[in-house]
Amino acid sequence: MIQPQGVTIRGGRVICPASGLDEVRDVHLAEGQIAAIAPPGEAREGQTELDAGGMLVCPGLVDVHVHLREPGAEHKETIATGTRAALLGGFTSVCAMPNTDPPPDTPQAVAQLRRRFAETGWCRAYPIGAATVGNRREQLNDFAALKAAGCVAISDDADLLRTREQRREALLRAAEAEIVFIAHAEDEELSAGGVMHQGELSRELGVPGQPAETEVRCVEAWRAAWDSEERRPPLHLAHLSTAASVEVLRAWTNGPTAETAPHYLALTDEAVREHGANAKMNPPLRTEQDRAALRQALADGVISIIATDHAPHTEEEKARGLLEAPFGIVGLETALGVIFTELVEPGILSLRQVLAALSSSPARRFGLEAGSLEVGMPADVIVVDPHKAWRVQPDEFASKGRNTPFAGMMLQGKVEAVVVGGALAVRDGEVVASGE
């Protein structure tokens, strides 16, 4: 991480969902912290100044669902390329999923991963521990030991727990360790072989689909495990995609938190017709009814977090076609623009709601010192031009991944500057300092 310097961000519309602030102010950063939020015009000697007039000044975004691929799949992404992409997308904190080789399933492996984050990361990166030894879905790991080593959550993402007994034990261990368990909701018996949503389009294209039931059945299985515990375990449901899952959440009293992803809020399964394997992810894009339900769930607070599920693959892998290509798309560099364009500009969600889902809510849920512009907090700040239109050009991504269904789309809202820990890392939309 580069060294902090004094920075003053002048005259922007400062929006902090954590404190409720939404006013034109100057933001003063010193010694790696938010030093003051003051009326415009106050001069401070020795400060690097950024003119944010007409722009938004917001907390650095927090993504709790990112696949950085390192170690083991550096041909797809590395910590350096993934966190550089995060910076350019406005994310100053990311949480790395554990489906790596080897996975972070021991304190030693977690320590090694954290050293790598510190050595090559461009933004803050936090490890999520593997639920089972070797991600083999058999023996549960020591959640308390992984937390002590630095994990901010535990997850079975991509290597799902198979039985009710495993789910109950995982929730028990999470409760005892006081660490969030992130569950990937998929019934593999129903989803097996499905490459997109099961519906009219999958039948038209002649490919196997995944019914909506594959997600909601697993959500209900996690609820059954949850209900068997006397205390309320810290459960979080990853990347929800269906209206049926939203309805289960609505009826789940004092239930878990949940996230959805920008692509489920912006697209439907019709995107597969145009983009093929670059619109193939798991869970798959669903119907217009599902998209509308997810948007409403965010508006109502039933779903409180937006996470990208950034999942880079090589162009050769995605070129295998819809049936053979791996699941996943990249999202760090497009997420904010997609959300601004599809949700904020049409008035579906307010700026404050969107920024909360992308910063303060995930930070609070996962216990991160982030997502706020309150005085004394780490100086992780972004400046966004909400009026700037730009075209998604995957060849210009910082990520190694080019696999996106948003290629060629015009988006509204561009990250112009990023400060991490008081250090100016992005200026005029370009990286100006190395995290290496």
Type of residue numbered 212: A
Let me know: does 11 contact 40? Beta carbons within 8 Å: yes
For 142, phi then psi, to 5°, come to: -85, 100
Q: How far apart are CA 428 and CA 197, in angstroms?
A: 40
For the beta carbon of residue 409, count every other beta carbon within 10 angstroms: 16
Q: How far apart are CA 75 and CA 229, in angstroms?
A: 42
Q: How far apart are CA 133 and CA 142, in angstroms?
A: 9
Q: How far apart are CA 369 and CA 371, in angstroms?
A: 7
Of 256, 264, 265, nearest to 221 (Cα)? Answer: 256
Let me know: does 216 contact 186? Beta carbons within 8 Å: no
What is the signed CA dihedral for 355, 368, 121, 403, rounded to 10 degrees?
-50
| Helix, strand, or coil (residue 432) | coil
Q: How far apart are CA 381 and CA 362, in angstroms?
A: 16
Of 80, 92, 82, nearest to 29 (Cα)? Answer: 92
Mutual orientation of helices 243-250 and 213-227 as an angle, nearest 10°? Answer: 20
**309: annotated active-site residue:** yes
Let me know: does 40 contact 385? Beta carbons within 8 Å: no
Q: How far apart are CA 251 and CA 230, in angstroms?
A: 18
What is the signed CA dihedral for 224, 226, 231, 234, rounded to 10 degrees?
-170
Q: How far apart are CA 352 and CA 209, in angstroms?
A: 36
% helix, strand, coil for the chain, step of 5: 30, 25, 45
Q: Which is catalytic among the residues 290, 309, 380, 385?
A: 309
> What radius of gyration, in Å, describes the C-alpha atoms of the chain?
21
Tokens of 114: 């954290």
| Helix, strand, or coil (residue 55) | coil
Positions marked catalytic: 309
